[in-house]
Amino acid sequence: MEQYQEPHTPQTDTGQFSSRLSESEGQGLHHQFRVGDEFFRLVLESLEEYAVFTTDTDGTISSWNSGAQRLLGYTEPDIIGKPFALIFTPEDIENHAPQGEFAQALQTGRGEDERYHVKKDGTLFWASGLLFPLFDSEKNLRGFTKIVRDLTEQKRAQQLIAEARAYAESIVETIREPLLVLDTDLRVVLANRAFYTTFHTTPQETEQQVVYTLGKGQWNIPALRHLLEAILSSATVFEDFRVEDEFPAIGKKVMLLNARTLSRETHDRELILLAFEDVTEQDRLQQMKDEFIRIVSHELKTPVTSLKGFAQLLLRRFQKQEDEQTAHILSRMDRQLTILSTLINDLLDVARLQRGKLLQKEEVFNLADLVRETVEDIQAITPTHHLVFEGDENAPVNGDRDRLGQVLINLLTNAIKYSPQAEKVAVHLVTEERFATVRVEDFGIGIATVHHEKVFEQYYQVTDQGTNSSGLGIGLYISNEIIQHHQGRMWVESTEGVGTTFTFSLPLHTERPSPQQ
Ligand code: ADP
């Protein structure tokens, strides 16, 4: 039996079990391989995606299917009788790769490889190959069969994935916020440079560790556990989870944590992206600002209240003396002082809100009465608009009556202030199921949609309305906070040039229904 030779040895015999076996009847070997030969050929030809060919024991190609022709470019007459090494790259030939494959096939029953192969036109393509020895019934080696599959597409896809991964990793690396990528066991798959520098830690202490064990267990916080578990089970996001802690290497810090799941095509291994934002400095500045506002507004309140008292005293005197001109000036002064003290009170309310001291009293009262009284009070000082109240008369709620009155005053004065051309403001109250809902509707300048969410933010004022408001942009912020503190909700609907409706709803008091007060 011949063994595989160097491929460059000239071959004269094209191999005994070529696909043209039937042409060479008479030899025993041919006879053995002839059975089902046509069927075998049909099977091979149907394997369009695969190059399937056979060689003699010395590596001379002896059969060649149409898949091989399509993939490698050689026709059957071209290649039969040529050495098998023809489809290997010069480097692989130099490294004896073809012989290696034969040896492996003989030793283990199959030779396997993934490498570049060469087409007839010299171009390379990435392919996987399987090589099997062929034995006859007497267990004599008769040659080999090789199956080659084009993996160009897979290779390209792998390269794209590798490139995308490198790209994503480089983004993660350059982001200045510390980031962790966690797997579903909450182990660290990846941490960026910012994470290591911010928390003064190393990859050894971080990678593959469960997030709760990092930094001496500083993230082992029940609320964070709860959030991460929630995010794993329902694939949501959480934003701005606040952690205030003494961190081992960096001291006392305030961090905001944001997390989201990275959805994958295959859901077997989801990843969680966890981002940290150090807001310690922002927080300190905010506290300083709040404290400044609190002190200033507190200090201003007493002199302004006295000024207002003196102005009113003088006003009465001059009215008595029938000095109309001076009285008029003093009443204007009084109005300005009212505006000033409203601003001061608003600022004091912001400070009280921050210290959790805004709501003082709690009582069960009829919201309908409060709405009607407030509408009447504001109507008494509003000559320009007609305020109309309609709706349910019985709406028991539990809360701070004065503060809820403040919300109504704010909505009504805004409705009047921002509808200078209109004559009417409509107020509705409806009770439905477990909620009382109050709507304050005006027919004024309206608010563009982009501002709808923002009008409830602190110090936010709409600047494109062409109005010159005397406010500070905190009335709605305080109102919304008051409503939220009552487990209620507030929202706005508005169309520019048509009008605005502010609505809030509060839970009805149910234990003692209809406490008509
Ligand atoms: P301000 O004291 O400036 O009125 P608010 O917090 O009460 O502050 O309101 C915030 C901003 O929302 C206002 O500056 C105004 O631009 C807008 N706004 C409030 N109510 C209305 C309304 N009814 N119609 C139109 N714009 C309004």
Nearest residue by C-alpha to atom 23 in ligand 1: 415
CB-defined site of ligand 1, < 6 Å = 410, 414-415, 418, 442, 444-445, 447, 455, 460-462, 465, 469, 471-477, 500
Q: Which atom of ligand 1 is nearest to the CA of 415?
A: 23
Question: Which one of 469, 482, 491, 493 would you pick to mutate in the ligand 1 pocket, going by the greatest count of ligand atoms within 8 A of its CB?
Answer: 469
At residue 181, what are phi and psi to the nearest 5 degrees?
A: -110, 125
Q: Which atom of ligand 1 is nearest to the CA of 467?
A: 16
Confidence grade of residue 391 (pLDDT, cut at 50, 70, 90)? very high
Q: How far apart are CA 493 and CA 227, in angstroms?
A: 33
User: pLDDT value at position 265?
Assistant: 59
Confidence grade of residue 386 (pLDDT, cut at 50, 70, 90)? very high
Contacts 24+ apart (CB under 8 A), 383-389: 384/416, 384/420, 384/423, 385/415, 385/416, 385/419, 385/422, 385/423, 385/424, 385/425, 386/423, 386/424, 386/425, 387/412, 387/424, 387/425, 387/427, 388/424, 388/425, 388/426, 388/427, 389/427, 389/428, 389/429
Higher pLDDT, 503 or 200: 503
| Helices 475-485 and 401-417: angle between axes, nearest 10 degrees | 150
The enclosing H or E element of 50 equals strand 50-55
User: pLDDT value at position 332?
Assistant: 93
Q: What pTM, to 2 d.p., does this model score?
A: 0.57
DSSP per position, 300-364: HHHHHHHHHHHHHHHHHHHHHTT-HHHHHHHHHHHHHHHHHHHHHHHHHHHHHHHTT-S----EE
Q: How far is the CA of 456 from the centre of ligand 1 (A)?
A: 9
Confidence grade of residue 260 (pLDDT, cut at 50, 70, 90)? confident
- Assigned domain for 4 exists: no
Q: Are residues 498 and 371 in the same domain?
A: yes
Confidence grade of residue 271 (pLDDT, cut at 50, 70, 90)? confident
CATH number reported for the structural domain that contains residue 349 in this entry: 1.10.287.130
User: pLDDT value at position 374?
Assistant: 96
Nearest residue by C-alpha to atom 21 in ligand 1: 414
Contact 196, 206 (CB under 8 A): yes
Q: Are residues 96 and 227 in the same domain?
A: no
Q: Are residues 244 and 200 in the same domain?
A: yes
- Assigned domain for 389 exists: yes
- Assigned domain for 11 exists: no
User: pLDDT value at position 413?
Assistant: 94
Q: Are residues 259 and 233 in the same domain?
A: yes
Question: Which one of 447, 468, 477, 503 would you pick to mutate in the ligand 1 pocket, going by the greatest count of ligand atoms within 8 A of its CB?
Answer: 447
Confidence grade of residue 246 (pLDDT, cut at 50, 70, 90)? confident
Mean pLDDT of 312-335: 93
pLDDT of residue 511 exceeding 50:
yes
Q: Which atom of ligand 1 is nearest to the CA of 474?
A: 6
Confidence grade of residue 512 (pLDDT, cut at 50, 70, 90)? low
Q: Are residues 35 and 98 in the same domain?
A: yes
User: pLDDT value at position 219?
Assistant: 84
Q: How far apart are CA 469 and CA 334, in angstroms?
A: 19
Q: How far is the CA of 101 from the centre of ligand 1 (A)?
A: 81
Question: Which one of 412, 418, 464 would you pick to mutate in the ligand 1 pocket, going by the greatest count of ligand atoms within 8 A of its CB?
Answer: 418
Q: Are residues 267 and 291 in the same domain?
A: no
Q: How far is the CA of 351 from the centre of ligand 1 (A)?
A: 20
Q: What residues make up the domain containing 114? A: 20-150
Q: Which atom of ligand 1 is nearest to the CA of 502?
A: 23
Q: Are residues 35 and 112 in the same domain?
A: yes
User: pLDDT value at position 268?
Assistant: 57
Q: Are residues 373 and 473 in the same domain?
A: yes
CATH number reported for the structural domain that contains residue 253 in this entry: 3.30.450.20
Q: How far is the CA of 350 from the centre of ligand 1 (A)?
A: 17
Q: Are strands 424-432 and 386-391 parallel, antiparallel or unpaired?
A: parallel
Q: Are residues 57 and 108 in the same domain?
A: yes
Return the structure tokens found at 42.
């049909």
Report pLDDT digits (tens) over 342-362. Answer: 889 888 888 888 777 777 788
Q: Considering the chain, what is the average pLDDT of its residues? A: 85
Report pLDDT digits (tens) over 416-445. Answer: 999 999 999 999 999 998 999 999 999 999
3-state secondary structure of 61: strand
Q: How far is the CA of 150 from the centre of ligand 1 (A)?
A: 68
User: pLDDT value at position 290?
Assistant: 85
Mean pLDDT of 145-169: 87
CATH number reported for the structural domain that contains residue 466 in this entry: 3.30.565.10
- Residue where one domain finishes, among candidates 332, 354, 376: 354
Higher pLDDT, 107 or 360: 107
How many domains are there within the chain?
4
Q: How far apart are CA 216 and CA 226, in angstroms?
A: 19
pLDDT of residue 12 exceeding 50:
no
Mean pLDDT of 494-511: 93
Q: How far apart are CA 281 and CA 85, in angstroms?
A: 69
Nearest residue by C-alpha to atom 11 in ligand 1: 461
User: pLDDT value at position 465?
Assistant: 66
User: pLDDT value at position 235?
Assistant: 63
Q: Please report, as a single letter, which amino acid is at residue 371.
A: V
Q: Are residues 41 and 117 in the same domain?
A: yes
Q: Are residues 326 and 399 in the same domain?
A: no
User: pLDDT value at position 9?
Assistant: 36
Report pLDDT digits (tens) over 39-79. Answer: 767 777 777 778 999 999 888 999 898 889 989 999 989 89
Mean pLDDT of 234-249: 80
Q: How far apart are CA 329 and CA 88, in angstroms?
A: 104
Return the structure tokens found at 196.
């290591």
- Assigned domain for 512 exists: no
Mean pLDDT of 159-163: 88
- Poorest-pLDDT segment among 203-212, 230-239, 304-313, 474-483: 230-239
Q: Are residues 344 and 371 in the same domain?
A: no
Q: How far is the CA of 440 from the centre of ligand 1 (A)?
A: 13
Q: How far is the CA of 410 from the centre of ligand 1 (A)?
A: 9
Confidence grade of residue 269 (pLDDT, cut at 50, 70, 90)? low
pLDDT of residue 161 exceeding 90:
no
Return the structure tokens found at 281.
């400095």
